[in-house]
Structure 1
Amino acid sequence: MIPLFDISLKLNGFPIKKAKAELSKIVNLSQEEYNIFLQNKKEEIVNFHLKNNSFYQELIGNKTDLKWEDLPILNKQNLQKPLEERLSKGFPKKDVYLNKTSGSSGTPFVFAKDKYCHALTWTSIFMRFGWYKIDFNHSLQARFYGIPMDFIGYQKERFKDFLTHRFRFPVFDLSDEVLEKFLQKFKSKKFDYINGYTSSIVLFAKYLEQQNIILKESCPTLKACFVTSEMLFESDKKLLEKQFGIPVINEYGASELDLIAFENPKGEWQVNAETLFVEILDENNKVLPYGEEGRIVITSLFNKAHPFIRYDIGDIGILDERSTPQKPILKKLIGRTNDIAILPSGKKSPGLTFYYVTKSIVEDDGNVKEFIIKQTQLDTFEIEYVSEKALDKVQIQKIKEAIALYLEPNLNFTFTKKLVLERSKSGKLKQFTSYI
């Protein structure tokens, strides 16, 4: 079979061969060599951005002789400026990989990665899926994700799915009738693995439980299920393993960075120490020892286009006492849960559907800083947002159209501009909450 995935990355200018060689080298370093590599990469990325990135220079100010622990903590609010103001010299918009964060934490922004950094991201994903004998060039993926509903966006995603050997199950409607259609697809296609949003995959497993069906019996080629973007609770993991009849692997990542942690075949949640440096900090920005709970702060060791240095991702976690710099293990992740919206028609939609709705208001000017969505009745939702300027009629109309498209028509939405939004005890902003 032609390796379409690798070819599509090369055609888009991502130096995948070079990235594979570099990752292989990093993975095979001795502990001592790794410690030197990490020290060098940290110094290198800071020095690069101090020389080439005015946004980062401004953040540092006039301080000199900075120790690592004195470097400022970058957060999502810092990054809500037009992208041009945050890009490094020599990395114009046309030559980098651009994307928007999902806004699952309620604070969306546009970001960039240089092409080599993004090639390394893909290489690190290949390696981790490879632990479970999954090869993106040949293995067929059952993908539980959203999809843009506008014609061009939709066709583009479907073409990408074709190139990357995956079949998409859109998660905007997860009613029993739709889940039955999903099941029929598993009976007719030779899927190798499942990948997608935790809550959607759990809903599918609950449907199978009601029907008393083990998925692997309907689709014998299935090898593994990878869940992402939302918290996987232990009880849900047991349900998935029982109803699917395959290993369930927990993934924790962020589009602006890389895979952050990925469950290895020993059942440890292994942190990516090849392209990232992960720290756990207390409320005074002091580094906590392994075993203590604090804020997850991450440095992208290779991204030259855009600084992600000591970046507070907005999650709380604990690194296991058994961790080493070369092999950190995430003991616990606190946060990242999303509710399910139940609509008047009986349709069920995961909270992450709102990512596709709110995408329509997340413009690169950084006006909307944060938002949360609350479901107060079956047909009634409240959007609370923090912005410099209130949303105008055109923007509100745009959101209403997106809501009718992705969810269903005749839902009532109120928009309230706030100075601050309420947060959970962990400091996490939950993008969607249902009160019904």
Structure 2
Amino acid sequence: MFVFWLTHTWLVDLFNWTLQFKGFDIAFAKAELARIQSIPEDQYQSYIEEKKQAIVAYHKQHNAFYKQLTSQQKSNAWNDLPVLTKAHLQQPLQERLSNEYTRKNVYVNKTSGSSGHPFIFAKDKASHALSWASFQDRYAWFDLDINTSKQARFYGIPLDFMGYRKERLKDWLGNRYRFPIFDLSEPQLKKIHQKFTATAFEYLNGYTSSIVLFAKYLKQHQIILKESCPTLKACIVTSEMLFESDKALMEIQFGVPVINEYGASELGLIAFQNSQDAFQVDSELLYVEILDDQNMPVPHGESGRIVITSLYNKAHPFIRYDIGDVGTLSRKSTPKKPILEKLTGRTNDIARLPSGKVVPGLTFYYVTKSVIEEDGNVSEFVIEQTALDTFKVIYTAQRALTPEEEETIKLATYKYLEEGLRVLFEKVKKMDRSKRGKLKQFVSKLPN
């Protein structure tokens, strides 16, 4: 009986156990998050100010990169702090770590480069554990448990042997089944639906555009997904814009609520749709500002650049960090419960291939990551599709890509998309940008 109880408990908490095993103290993080949430509304502004000043003071004392960045600060006022851009971070990680941290005692990852500015970042283990505690807290709003709720995951996956196996292992530990989104043609969408009929999934999670394509397939075939998979509770979409028309389509075809999630790998969960259908900003671990072109806060209800401070990451400074999106905080926002009324950005086109395959623009993250290394040579990049079989990689860099690097990207393109494609390269001095100043990672120039 004891052995059964021990095994059952371990399996039920497998994801949390994995975090603990890796040194991310999820038990402490959950307790700390609960403590923060217990702070009364009338004391919450003081909590935020205290954490803002503490994280700035820490990095000014312990982080040479941030100390140099703030050396020209005119005063100690918050609004005089520099706004950190992704371009600032395109240098070796070791030069950006705080004194007490090395690669061996931090969580290290790479951004997707969806805005055209890829870089490597770090989070200290306590901060990373807090991020996971926040995810688990928000999912519980909809009766979802990361440990036990089976997830249908619509994401990319590395196709090299080790990368593929690593992600599949992580999926198993995270109680999820991944549908690679590199091919969303009709036959593949049919297979995806068949998997739902045989698996007790509780929620979908993944790239908005990919899940929308699945919903369109279901509509075409007059299928309500919950009728095929009665255990389904919700759909969580992330990484790209969620339009109201797409949300309505998915809720009809899936038969469950569609929840909007806004996050970034370097920050964690930024905003999550609550049960009242409001896009609630994380005010526990982050401080979110909306700034104008002079880096000054705009009143609630007005649009501006989304700038975020991570209040707990001591390994790497994300202080007044411009994430590259534009948004608006609701006039109903309070210090404890900010509401993101409008979000502009993170939308990607769809690539269509000669074979009939359909892939989301975010697929090119997996293609280009093969040469986006820590040296920061490639500063910005955009992939343009100019014909069914032709893609152009436009980039800015300190030096041109070598023939070997170009060949690596071509081979990755064949692996993730299909053989026989033409891949062209163009190094430019400066990127053409949208009116908002944000690059789209992928642009299709094909007729609709």
TM-score per shorter chain, which class?
Answer: over 0.9
8 Å CA contact 2:386, 2:445 repeated in 1: yes
8 Å CA contact 2:93, 2:120 repeated in 1: yes
The alignment partner of 2:437 has SS state of: coil
User: 1:12-411 alignment to 2 at 5 Å?
Assistant: 12-63=22-73, 65-411=75-421
Alpha-carbon separation, structure 1, partners of 2:432 and 2:140: 41
Alpha-carbon separation, structure 2, partners of 1:151 and 1:345: 25
Residue by residue over 1:369-417, the C-alpha shift from the partner in whole angstroms, topping out at 9 and shown as x without a partner, is: 0000110110011111000010001111110111010000111111111
8 Å CA contact 1:340, 1:348 repeated in 2: yes
- Letter matched to residue 218 of structure 1: S
Q: CA deviation at 1:33?
A: 2.2
Alpha-carbon separation, structure 2, partners of 1:415 and 1:212: 43
Q: CA deviation at 1:433?
A: 0.7
The alignment partner of 1:170 has SS state of: coil
8 Å CA contact 1:381, 1:412 repeated in 2: yes
The alignment partner of 2:383 has SS state of: strand
Alpha-carbon separation, structure 1, partners of 2:296 and 2:70: 18
The alignment partner of 1:126 has SS state of: helix
Alpha-carbon separation, structure 2, partners of 1:395 and 1:202: 34
Q: Give the TM-score taking structure 2 as reference length.
A: 0.96
In the other structure, the counterpart of 2:432 is 422
Alpha-carbon separation, structure 2, partners of 1:368 and 1:65: 34
Alpha-carbon separation, structure 2, partners of 1:293 and 1:146: 32
8 Å CA contact 1:193, 1:225 repeated in 2: yes
Q: CA deviation at 1:428?
A: 1.2
Q: CA deviation at 1:338?
A: 0.2
Alpha-carbon separation, structure 2, partners of 1:260 and 1:40: 20
Unmatched segments (≥5 aa) in structure 1: none
Alpha-carbon separation, structure 2, partners of 1:257 and 1:5: 20
In the other structure, the counterpart of 2:20 is 10
Residue by residue over 1:298-343, the C-alpha shift from the partner in whole angstroms, topping out at 9 and shown as x without a partner, is: 0000000000000000000000110011111001001111000000
Alpha-carbon separation, structure 1, partners of 2:185 and 2:349: 15
8 Å CA contact 2:73, 2:81 repeated in 1: no
Q: CA deviation at 1:344?
A: 0.4
Q: CA deviation at 1:62?
A: 5.0
8 Å CA contact 2:394, 2:427 repeated in 1: yes
Q: CA deviation at 1:418?
A: 0.7
Q: CA deviation at 1:32?
A: 2.4
Alpha-carbon separation, structure 2, partners of 1:393 and 1:61: 41
Alpha-carbon separation, structure 1, partners of 2:368 and 2:115: 12
Q: Give the TM-score taking structure 1 as reference length.
A: 0.99
8 Å CA contact 1:281, 1:295 repeated in 2: yes
- Letter matched to residue 125 of structure 1: F
Alpha-carbon separation, structure 1, partners of 2:74 and 2:277: 43
8 Å CA contact 1:75, 1:312 repeated in 2: yes
- Letter matched to residue 337 of structure 1: T
Question: What RMSD, in angstroms, separates the aligned Cα atoms of the two structures?
Answer: 0.8
Residue by residue over 1:205-250, the C-alpha shift from the partner in whole angstroms, topping out at 9 and shown as x without a partner, is: 0000010000000000000000000001110000000000000000
- Letter matched to residue 403 of structure 1: T
Q: CA deviation at 1:126?
A: 0.3
Alpha-carbon separation, structure 2, partners of 1:276 and 1:319: 14
Aligned length, in residue pairs: 436
- Letter matched to residue 272 of structure 2: F
Alpha-carbon separation, structure 1, partners of 2:42 and 2:397: 48
Alpha-carbon separation, structure 2, partners of 1:403 and 1:260: 31
Alpha-carbon separation, structure 2, partners of 1:122 and 1:216: 28
8 Å CA contact 1:98, 1:110 repeated in 2: yes
Decide which of 428, 444, 447 is 1:434's aligned counterpart: 444
Residue by residue over 1:37-89, the C-alpha shift from the partner in whole angstroms, topping out at 9 and shown as x without a partner, is: 11110011000000000000010115474110100000000000100000000
8 Å CA contact 1:26, 1:34 repeated in 2: no
Runs of 4+ in 1 over 3 A off after TM superposition: 62-65
- Letter matched to residue 21 of structure 1: A
Alpha-carbon separation, structure 2, partners of 1:130 and 1:398: 42
The alignment partner of 1:385 has SS state of: strand
The alignment partner of 1:77 has SS state of: helix
